[in-house]
């Protein structure tokens, strides 16, 4: 039996609050690792995760707020005003993805470049993620205003 929209909203809000506590624990946890090591790779990876956790916390906050205090809208005007700039940014992301792929092809099979490959894979995934969330923003805009 399906839950009502109100029940679903309440569950999402409760989940976001729990999740935020875990993100805070993640920030502390990565901080402890950073304090204990001088290794530049381990430190960098922990800093990446720490920053991601801080961003996740903000996203969870917006999700919870949108269901409890203020509805979120994305009007065609709001998006329209900046969509040209967003499209320019999407073109930049495509360039960074190409550079990451080109770099990974260059080091393919090179035994001494494992760390560089590891970090390049991370950069590629992150740039691809940016590309996807920008493309989905267009879908959200169209979904809210299918005739806009």
pLDDT in tens, 31-71: 999 999 999 999 999 999 999 999 999 999 999 999 998 88
Please state, in angstroms and rounded to a whole number, the distance separating the CA atoms of residues 128 and 97: 7
Helix (H, G, I), strand (E, B) or coil at 148: coil
Tokens of 142: 């169209």
* Element containing residue 72 per DSSP (H, E): none
Please state, in angstroms and rounded to a whole number, the distance separating the CA atoms of residues 43 and 53: 15
pLDDT tier, 146 (very low <50, low <70, confident <90, very high otherwise): low
pLDDT in tens, 80-120: 888 889 889 999 999 999 999 999 999 998 889 999 999 99
Side-chain half-sphere exposure of 123, counting CA atoms within 13 A: 19
Q: What is the pLDDT of residue 145?
A: 66
């Amino acid at each position: 039996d399906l839950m009502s929209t109100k029940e679903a909203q309440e569950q999402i809000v409760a989940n976001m609050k729990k999740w935020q506590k875990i993100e805070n624990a993640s920030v502390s946890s990565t901080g402890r690792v950073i304090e204990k090591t001088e290794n530049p790779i381990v430190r960098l990876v922990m800093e990446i995760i720490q920053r991601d956790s801080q961003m996740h916390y903000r996203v969870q906050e917006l999700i919870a707020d949108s269901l409890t205090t203020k509805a979120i809208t994305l009007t065609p005007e709001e998006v329209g005003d900046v969509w040209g700039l967003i499209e320019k940014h999407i073109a930049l992301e495509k360039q960074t993805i190409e550079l990451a792929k080109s770099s990974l092809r260059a080091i393919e099979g090179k035994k001494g470049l494992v760390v560089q490959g590891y970090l390049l894979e991370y950069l590629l995934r992150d740039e691809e993620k940016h590309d996807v969330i920008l493309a989905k923003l267009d879908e959200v805009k169209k979904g809210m205003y299918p005739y806009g």
